[in-house]
Amino acid sequence: MRKKRIDYLFALPAFIVFFIFFIYPFLNGFWLSLTKWNGYTDPIFIGLENFKNILKDPRALSAIKNTVVFALFSTPLLNLFGLMYALLLENSKSKMVKLTRIFVYVPAIISPLIMGYVWFFIMKSGGTAQELFAQLGMNGLVFDWLADPKLALALIILVNTWQFSGMTMIIYLSALQAIPEELYEAADIDGANYWNKLIDVKLPNITSAITVNILTNIIGSLAIFDAIVALTDGGPGYATESLSMYIMRMSYGGSTGYAVAVAIIMFFITLIPVMAYILATKKKGLAI
C-alpha cells in the first residue's frame, strides 16, 4: 500500500496537468453546449436544444458528411502513398534518392494554408493548369474546377494527400530501416522474392508505424480546415465546408453555445473510429 501511495504521488503532477488541460475544458465545454450563449453574456441553460438543432440543420449535416467523406478517402490515400514512397526510397544510398526524400517531405512542413493558396492559383479559373490545358487544346478540362461541387472536395483530398504523404513516408521509413538485416538474410536463404519479403517480413514488422499513421491521419483528416479555407472557403455554397469551419463560423456568428455543441459532436466523431481501430488492432495483437 505504501509503494502504491508513492506511485500515485509521482503520477499526481501528470494527473493535475491532464485535469487542467483536458478534463476541465471538456466538462466546461459540455456544460456550455447545453446553453444559449453568444460568447459574451451569461449562458442560458436550454438543455439538449442545441443538439436537436444540429440534427435539423442541413448545413451542419452537410459539414458532417464532408468531414467524414474527407477522412474516409484521405486516410487510406495518405497511408498508401506514404508506404509506396517509403518502399521505393528505403535502401538506396544515392544522393538522388536522398534528394527525392527531401522533396517528398518538404511540403509537409509548409503551412497547409500557404500550400492551399499555391494550389488555388494553379487550379483556379484562368490559373496555371487551365492555361496549360488551353495551350494543349484540351478545352474540355478548361473550366473552374473549384466551383464544381462534385469535383472540389476530391481536389482538396488530392492536395492534402500530396502535401502530407511525406509525413507518413518518414514514419514508414524509420520502421522499415529498423527491421533486422538477419530477417532479410533468412528470407533470401528460403528463396523469398520481393513480394514474399514485403508480405512476410516488412509488413508484420511495421505494424506499429501503420497504427501511428492511421490514427494520426484519421485525427488530422477529421480536423481539416486550412486547405479548405485556401482552396474553396467552404464553397461552392457550403459544398466543401468542414466541421471545423462550421464551428468557427457559428462561434464568431454569435452562436457560441451551439458551436460548442457541434464541437462535442466532432469530438465523438473523431473518438469513435480511433477507439474502434485501437480495439480492433489490440484484439489481433497489432496495437502499439
Q: Which three cell numbers stand for residue 77?
A: 490515400
What are the pLDDT digits (tens) for 28-78?
Answer: 999 999 999 988 889 999 999 999 999 999 999 999 999 999 999 999 999
Residue 43 lies in a domain: no
The residue written with cell numbers 521509413 in the block is: 173
More confident residue, 31 or 288: 31
Residue 174 lies in a domain: yes
What are the pLDDT digits (tens) for 79-138?
Answer: 999 999 999 998 767 788 888 888 999 999 999 999 999 999 999 888 889 889 889 888
Residue 239 lies in a domain: yes
CATH number at residue 69: 1.10.3720.10
DSSP the chain: -HHHHHHHHHHHHHHHHHIIIIIHHHHHHHHHHTEE--SSS--EE-TTHHHHHHHH-HHHHHHHHHHHHHHHHHHHHHHHHHHHHHHHSSS---HHHHHHHHHHHGGGGS-HHHHHHHHHHHHSTTSHHHHHHHHTT-GGG-S-GGG-HHHHHHHHHHHHHHHHHHHHHHHHHHHHHTS-HHHHHHHHHTT--HHHHIIIIIHHHTHHHHHHHHHHHHHHHHT--HHHHHHTTT-STTTT--HHHHHHHHHHTT-HHHHHHHHHHHHHHHHHHHHHHHHHHHHTT---
Residue 143 lies in a domain: yes
Write the DSSP symbol of residue 208: H
Name the domain count of the chain.
1
More confident residue, 150 or 57: 57
Provide the residue range defining the domain that includes 195: 51-283
Residue 128 lies in a domain: yes
Residue 288 lies in a domain: no
CA distance 202 to 206: 6
Residue 44 lies in a domain: no
Residue 170 lies in a domain: yes
pLDDT at 253: 84
